[in-house]
Amino acid sequence: MFYVFNRIDETWYNTQLRQRLDDLINSQFRDTSRVYKTSGLLGFYGSQIKQTNQQDRFGLDSIFVDSVKGVHGTEETPQFVYAFNNYCVSSGKLSSTNFRISLNGFESPNANYVRILSEQSTPLINQLIQDSGIEEFRSAITSYLTEEKRPQLFKSLANDLEDICIKLKKHYQLAYRNLDSQPREIETMKQHELQRLNQQLQQVGRDFSQHIIEEVNLVINNSCDGFETDFKQLQSRMIRRLDELLDTFSVADAYRRATLSHPRNATAPLLAILVEAFYYLANQLEDILVESSEQVIANLFQRLMEKVRKSEYYRQLYRLLGNDAGIESKLKALEKAVSQSLIDAGSVECDRYVRESHLFYDEGTFSIYQFRQTLLQTSQSYDSESMVEAEPAIRQLLKLDFEPKVSQTIRKTFRQTINQILKTQLLPMTESQAEEILQQYPQARVYLEQTLEQEAEEKIANNRRLLNAVEQKIEAYNLAVTNINSCLQSMQLYNHLLPTISTTQSELVENISTSNGVLISDGLSGSMTQI
């Protein structure tokens, strides 16, 4: 801690004030080694006017120009000028032997100021600065920072940087070793790549298989947004189509179809009308379910193919083989198979609509009540007129039976059917396709040999660029650490020196073997250089 009492020049002219200050210091401070008496006003401006001369009136026309300007054209006296004049004649700080100074009453304070400095010049200014106490305070602060605080700061800096420097060292040495160990000859590089070919094909097959499994799993777990949107549209289309069919169902047309089936009879029972209606509704709903299912599967496989084309394994497969090993054609064939399976499943699902629900004739249900009321209405005569008049009641009867069936299909059974078809047809394909990719090794070797020379040249050049970049970073790191270590050594802080990086093979092996694999940002080297 430093304690500073400023405006000490006020005590030069006031004995009582000086005594109070001395008593305060003696009573409050046991150690006065860091207690300083200063006059910032005299010291600061004293150092400023050393750069002036008589031409600008020792700062009145430059440093103090704003303070000198008066309101009505009269010249004002800056505070420093008053303090300076008092210092010269009243402070008792100046030796009469060395400085013969007079303050003339017939001159303005500013004129006295200029005259005194013209006569005494630099020696007076130096004495003023010395008496202000600021140089003693500046020297004490400088000594404290450079001799006491600077070693502490560098010690703390070294402690803070030690861990990050160790990690950086291991990271750069690992990167350097990996790049330095890469083949540097084209033929060596080609052989190296060909040796990895079988492993790469296996990895591509595994990645493809894993991708398809994940996509199927997303669908099964209702986590594929695109598929969920398409299936909800299928549900909506089924519901809308049932409403349309019920609203437009014609009893007259059903009556005609029933009588055509039995040419000897001129009338038809209510049950015959219901039979025709059940077949008609079931077949129409099958059409919309099949159409919607085909669209759902088409969209699913389109999205799947787009994801496959954008995948890293697909790009790698083209690099190794020059084609996709039949993935796209296999997916297209599979799309047709899945679509056909869903068509068959939809046909079976809707074929079951022809059968009445087991609750349709149950006692106590609204459907049996509606059936009896409808039968009562249609039995009033034996021509088609009574049937046509009962059309609203017949539509309501059909609605009671078909709405639960359609709801069961779109909300429960058919989604499970789709999931099961996708699993049983897609997942086995992934295994066979992965094996087929691996079987492409002879073709891949021939193709890769044709393209490897150019790739090897590019890879060697790229490795060389990366190695140069790592070397530059190591050089920047070592320069920063060496500079810090030089400071630490000059302060005899030998136990806190930071590690430098060596690229010799022996140290690389030693350090890499103990590396924990932590990767640290390369940006620190720039910051350390600034330090």
Q: What is the 3-state secondary structure (H, E, C) of 219-249?
A: HHCCCCHHHHHHHHHHHHHHHHHHHHHHHHC
- Reduced DSSP (H G I as helix, E B as strand, rest coil) percent helix, strand, coil of the chain, to 5: 75, 0, 25
**What one-letter code names the amino acid at 228?**
E
279 lies in the same domain as 385: yes
State how many domains the chain has: 3
Indicate the pTM of the whole model.
0.51
Tokens of 518: 């932590």
Q: Which two tokens stand for residue 277?
A: 């209606």
Separation between Cα atoms, residue 98 and residue 496, nearest integer Å: 54
Q: Is residue 203 part of a domain?
A: no
Tally the residues of the chain.
531
Asked if 51 and 165 sit in the same domain, the reply is no
Q: Helices 40-49 and 79-90 sit at what angle, rounded to 10 degrees?
A: 100
227 vs 234: CA distance, rounded Å: 10
Q: What is the dihedral of CA 98, 100, 101, 102, to 10 degrees?
A: 160
Among 342, 352, 349, residue whose Cα is nearest residue 409: 349
Phi-psi region of 133 (alpha: psi -120 to 50; beta: other; left: phi over 0): left
Q: Is residue 210 part of a domain?
A: no
How far is the C-alpha of 292 from the C-alpha of 307, rounded, in Å?
A: 23
51: in domain: yes
C-alpha span between 353 and 355 (Å, rounded): 5
Is 432 inside a domain boundary? no
89 shares its domain with 43: yes
Q: Look at residues 55, 172, 102, 271 and name the one whose alpha carbon lies nearest to residue 476.
A: 172
Encoded tokens for 154 = 């560098």
d(CA 516, CA 170): 8
Measure the CA–CA gap between 431 and 424, rounded to whole angstroms: 12
DSSP state at residue 37: E
Q: What is the pLDDT along the chain (531 residues), one digit of tens a residue?
A: 889 999 999 999 999 999 999 999 999 988 888 899 999 999 999 999 988 998 999 988 898 888 888 777 788 999 999 999 999 988 888 887 788 888 888 899 999 999 999 988 889 999 999 999 999 999 999 988 888 888 888 888 888 888 888 888 888 888 888 887 776 555 666 666 677 888 888 999 999 999 999 999 999 999 999 999 999 999 999 999 999 998 888 877 777 887 777 777 666 677 777 888 888 999 999 999 999 999 999 999 999 999 999 999 999 888 888 888 889 999 999 999 999 999 999 999 999 988 877 666 555 454 555 666 665 566 665 556 667 777 787 888 888 889 999 999 999 899 999 999 999 999 999 889 988 888 888 888 877 777 766 666 777 778 888 888 888 998 898 999 899 888 888 888 888 888 888 877 555 555 544 443 333 333 333 333 322
Q: Are residues 394 and 476 in the same domain?
A: no
283 and 406 together in one domain: yes
Helix (H) or strand (E) holding 452: helix 441-490
Tokens of 132: 């202000």
Of the three residues 406, 426, 446, the one that is the final residue of a domain is 426
- The SS3 call for residue 35 is strand
Would you say 232 and 222 are in contact if contact means Cβ atoms under 8 Å apart?
no
**Any idea which residue has 């059968």 for tokens?**
355
Residues 8 and 64 in one domain: yes
Strands (E), 381-468: none
Token pair recorded at residue 78 = 């800056």
Q: Are 394 and 483 part of one and the same domain? A: no
Give the contacts of 209 (CB within 8 A, at least 6 positions apart).
430, 431, 433, 434
Contact 361, 304 (CB under 8 A): no
Report the C-alpha gap between 244 and 267 in whole angstroms.
Answer: 28
Rounded CA separation 296/215 (Å) = 15
Residue 183 CA to residue 190 CA, distance in Å, equals: 9
Q: How many CA atoms lie within 13 Å of 506's alpha carbon, on the beta-carbon side? A: 0
Residue 62: closest CA among 53, 71, 72: 53
Q: Is residue 211 part of a domain?
A: no
How confident is the model at residue 218, as a pLDDT?
A: 94
Query: Quick one: 294 and 385 in the same domain?
Result: yes
Whether residues 8 and 43 fall in one domain: yes
Look up residue 499 and give its DSSP letter: P
Neighbours of 28 (CB within 10 A): 10
Interacting residues of 473 by C-beta distance below 8 A, sequence separation 6+: 172, 522, 525
Q: How many whole angstroms from its chain centre is CA 345? A: 45
What whole-number distance in Å separates Cα of residue 247 and Cα of residue 259? 23
Asked, for residue 214, whether it belongs to a domain, the answer is no
CA distance 278 to 301: 34
Whether residue 171 sits in one domain with residue 138: no
- The answer to whether the CB of 322 falls within 8 A of the CB of 269 is no
For residues 115 and 161, state if they share a domain.
Answer: no
415 assigned to some structural domain? yes
Instruction: Please check whether residues 273 and 338 belong to one and the same domain.
Output: yes
Instruction: Name the nearest CA neighbour of 296 among 224, 231, 215, 212.
Output: 231
d(CA 407, CA 506): 75
User: Looking at 144, 173, 194, which one is the last position of a domain?
Assistant: 144
Q: Please identify which residue in the block is written with the tokens 């350090």.
A: 511
- Domain membership flag for residue 207: no
Residue 468 structural domain = 154-181+454-530
